[in-house]
Structure 1
Amino acid sequence: MQSVGAQEFRLHQLQDKVSVAAGKTLTLNCTTSGMVIAGAVRWLKGWGSENKTIYDQREKPLPRVTRAVAGSDTDFTIHISNVQPEDMGTYYCVKFVKGDTGQEEVFQRGNGTEVSVQAKPSPLLVSGPAERMRPGQSVSFTCRTGGFFPKEIVVKWFKNRDPMMVQQPQITEWGVKTYNMSSTVMVTLQKNDVPSQLTCEVLHSTLLAPLRGSFQLSRVLRVPPSVEVRAEPSPTELNKTVTFTCLVKEFYPAHVSVSWLENGVDLKVQNISQPRELHSGLFELRSQVEVQATEEKNGSTITCMVVHDAQAPANSSAFLWIYNPAQGESSKESQMLKDDMLIYIVVGVVCTVLALLVAAILYLIRTKQIKGKSSPSARLHEPEKSSEATTQESDPNNLTYADLNFDKERKTIRRMVEMSQQSEYACIQTNRAPNGDDNLTYADLDMVHLSKAPKRPAPRPEEASSEYASVQITRK
């Protein structure tokens, strides 16, 4: 009877593989057919020495395990609620019977059902540096998630809406059949990054929509202010009030304090200014202090000291300049005289330089002309006297000869002819010679007999186109 019953008993486990999302309910199907045989039906996770009992027909089920059909002798389907990644594995439906020794033995075993749990990535965690950084510095940001299955995952980064170039994420196995992911991106901070946002986006087969995490760059950005001090009016009249303005420009975050110093000593400021936000997300601040322009304060240094976001202080200074109106006119006249004197000196130096330059040019031109021309000359030659003639009385009417050399250029200066009762003269006139290599006019006067007629005026010089020469001989 038992052998016949054993042949008619059948255990059916038809599911080969089952995939379930984490947190959902897993259903494992197992039914029997044929004769009912004494012995328990159990569900085991794994097979061998490390198997684990999930459900036992004769014992109280685990908290997450329930029977699909309570009290049934043929349907041993179970439900496992709130499935977690650690529930992944192979499950077996097994029929046990008592053996000859009284111990339970495996009577029949199903083929096993491989269960995989589709685990969604955990919410993204995007982190940055622990301290604020200045514009121009390169900063790393990290996006993390974990507890997901399967392993395949895609990560993208965006700055505002612009995609960023990133390396492949690092994926490590964690726990039982789950994975963790870490992705890093480098960002060079800019001054205008206060409103900017980084976004990490993850795509996974368990997600109906991308998983996103964001990070505001303003959380790690520090923009130091520029500081400028202005004094109005400057210089100021004695005993008047001067307003010093401190401009603290384009800084972030808004944590800033301003103090005033006069020659290193604190000045009390009644009105404390508050930062004003700009469209760029940066801040600016304008602080003012009034100083009485007394005589002893002339030349004082007024300093604006700015401490931004608990950093080292920055400062800027201006001077308090004072003038006395009573001394103003004389000072102006003195200054005008100094200015006029300076102008005269400059003009005199310029004129002197120009005069020297002109003289140098004229000298160079004159030197060049002299080198290119022969100077006119007149030479009087005494007749050669022999030893015989030395005893003879010379003839008063005898005139020695003269060599006359002249330039062939037009003469524009009239030569004066000496008028004397004791002189006689001779006149030679030449027209312009034709062009040639020799540029001189030559005349020889030899034994010219001068008329002893009454003296008459020297002849009037010819036109400028003529050249002349006169020789006067004193009467002996």
Structure 2
Amino acid sequence: MDEATHDLDPSPSVLPGLQRGGWEMILHFFAGSTHEIFQVQQAEMTQTASVGETITLSCSVPDSFPKGPVLWFKGNEPNRELIYNFKEGFFPRVKEIGHTTKPGNTDFSIRISEISLADAGTYYCVKFKEGKPNMEFQSGPGTEVFVTTPPSLPVVLGPLERALTGQTVNFSCMSYGFFPKDITLQWFKNGKEISSLQTHIVQMKNSNAYKISSTTEMVLTLQDFSSYVTRGIFEHPTPKNKISVTCKAKKFYPQDIQLTWLKNGNVSQVDKTLTPTRSHDGLYTVQSSILVDRANQEDTVLTCRVEQDGWQEATAKMTFLVSYLDKSEK
């Protein structure tokens, strides 16, 4: 009986290894808890925001820490930037969330509004110990903030000068003000992707944002709105000794066009306000008419001249002979 009792006795002399191991495990458990509780905590390791948004940076400081202020910084020593002081200072975009004046408060979280690209970086919540001067007591692990902003609407520029069918022309595209740098630009023609000649991404001057520029080239065809004009003149007899003559220009682009009538080399009529019609292929057609007096006793050379962007594109002539007019009246 004594032997059995002796076997179950949990005294140090009987079970020293078990007793020592148990205490080690218990001490280790409390040591870990103490380490977690008595430190400045920042819940988020990273945050991502778009330009113009508001972010919240959390911070919890144990109330058992020595008396002293809590400050928020961006970056590390020696060039860290003060973001917020709970006791003094003017920080228009930053507001505190917790009741920091309430005894026992542990919440020193802040909210930053109107985020810009310049706000990207790592933010630290730092506890100071009161003194002359105050000494840094402990810093949180930091929260890294990433700021994104979309690119501007792309601007596409074509040839600066007029181009004809079969000519190789360059097109350029540019977009700017985006972050981060990773971006893809693709070219499409009629919904089908085409390759680019070159694409560059560079950082904008005095800014964290980037801009992208790209060029491509193509050989123009009629479907690409090449600028050329064809013409025709048609005669339509009308009553009262008049002849209506029509000049028709077709398959041109852009639509701005001027048509001038000349009689015997002298300007007779200028049509500046014509309204071209657009066909299914995207090119334009326009026509203008002029009346010719049958009673004219002299031969007349009638000229139709088409101009586009200050360029004389085409002319067509018709000669009215008095002998022909007289014969046609009989």
Same fold (TM over 0.5): yes
What is the CA–CA distance in structure 2 between the aligned matches of 1:49 and 1:301, rounded to whole Å? 89
Matching residue of 1:260: 261
CA contact under 8 A between 1:146 and 1:181: conserved in structure 2? yes
Describe the SS at the equivalent of 1:260: strand
Matching residue of 1:98: 130
1:16 to 21, 45, 53: 45
Equivalences for residues 385-464 of structure 1 within 5 A: none
Describe the SS at the equivalent of 2:156: strand
Matching residue of 1:308: 308
TM-score of the pair, normalised by structure 2: 0.71
RCO comparison, higher one (Cα < 8 Å, 6+): 2
What is the CA–CA distance in structure 1 between the aligned matches of 2:203 and 2:221, rounded to whole Å? 37
Gaps in structure 2 of 5+ consecutive residues? 1-34
Pairwise CA distance, 1:285:
0.9
Pairwise CA distance, 1:131:
5.1
Gap change, CA 1:268 and 1:74, over 3 Å in 2 = closer
Over aligned residue pairs, what C-alpha RMSD do you find? 3.5
CA contact under 8 A between 1:269 and 1:289: conserved in structure 2? no
Matching residue of 1:279: 280
Gap change, CA 1:227 and 1:128, over 3 Å in 2 = same
Name which one, 1 or 2, has greater alpha-carbon Rg: 1
Describe the SS at the equivalent of 2:118: helix
TM-score of the pair, normalised by structure 1: 0.51
CA contact under 8 A between 1:250 and 1:284: conserved in structure 2? no
Matching residue of 2:177: 147
Matching residue of 1:173: 203
What is the CA–CA distance in structure 2 between the aligned matches of 1:138 and 1:95, rounded to whole Å? 67
Q: Does residue 64 in structure 1 map to residue 93 in structure 2?
A: yes
CA contact under 8 A between 2:306 and 2:313: conserved in structure 1? yes
Gap change, CA 1:75 and 1:231, over 3 Å in 2 = closer
Matching residue of 1:123: 153
2:66 to 37, 49, 59: 37
Pairwise CA distance, 1:69:
1.1
Letter in 1 for 2:97: A
Letter in 2 for 1:59: E
Pairwise CA distance, 1:93:
1.3
CA contact under 8 A between 1:242 and 1:293: conserved in structure 2? no
Matching residue of 2:115: 83
Matching residue of 2:12: none
What is the CA–CA distance in structure 2 between the aligned matches of 1:122 and 1:257, rounded to whole Å? 37
Describe the SS at the equivalent of 2:312: coil
Gap change, CA 1:309 and 1:269, over 3 Å in 2 = closer
What is the CA–CA distance in structure 2 between the aligned matches of 1:113 and 1:225, rounded to whole Å? 66
Q: Does residue 319 in structure 1 map to residue 319 in structure 2?
A: yes
CA contact under 8 A between 2:69 and 2:130: conserved in structure 1? no
Pairwise CA distance, 1:40:
0.6
Pairwise CA distance, 1:255:
3.0
Provide, for residues 398-452 of structure 1, a one-character-per-residue CA deviation record: whole Å limited to 9, x for no partner: xxxxxxxxxxxxxxxxxxxxxxxxxxxxxxxxxxxxxxxxxxxxxxxxxxxxxxx
What is the CA–CA distance in structure 2 between the aligned matches of 1:269 and 1:35, rounded to whole Å? 93
Pairwise CA distance, 1:176:
5.5
Gap change, CA 1:170 and 1:307, over 3 Å in 2 = same
What is the CA–CA distance in structure 1 between the aligned matches of 2:180 and 2:325, rounded to whole Å? 89
Matching residue of 1:53: 82
Equivalences for residues 89-238 of structure 1 within 5 A: 89-99=121-131, 102-130=132-160, 132-167=162-197, 169-174=199-204, 175=206, 177-194=208-225, 223-230=227-234
CA contact under 8 A between 1:277 and 1:284: conserved in structure 2? no
CA contact under 8 A between 1:278 and 1:284: conserved in structure 2? no
Pairwise CA distance, 1:324:
7.8
Provide, for residues 328-377 of structure 1, a one-character-per-residue CA deviation record: whole Å limited to 9, x for no partner: xxxxxxxxxxxxxxxxxxxxxxxxxxxxxxxxxxxxxxxxxxxxxxxxxx
Describe the SS at the equivalent of 2:185: strand
Gap change, CA 1:133 and 1:94, over 3 Å in 2 = same
Pairwise CA distance, 1:62:
1.3
Provide, for residues 222-265 of structure 1, a one-character-per-residue CA deviation record: whole Å limited to 9, x for no partner: x24223335579xxxxxx86654433232233333333333323
CA contact under 8 A between 1:172 and 1:179: conserved in structure 2? yes
Letter in 2 for 1:20: A
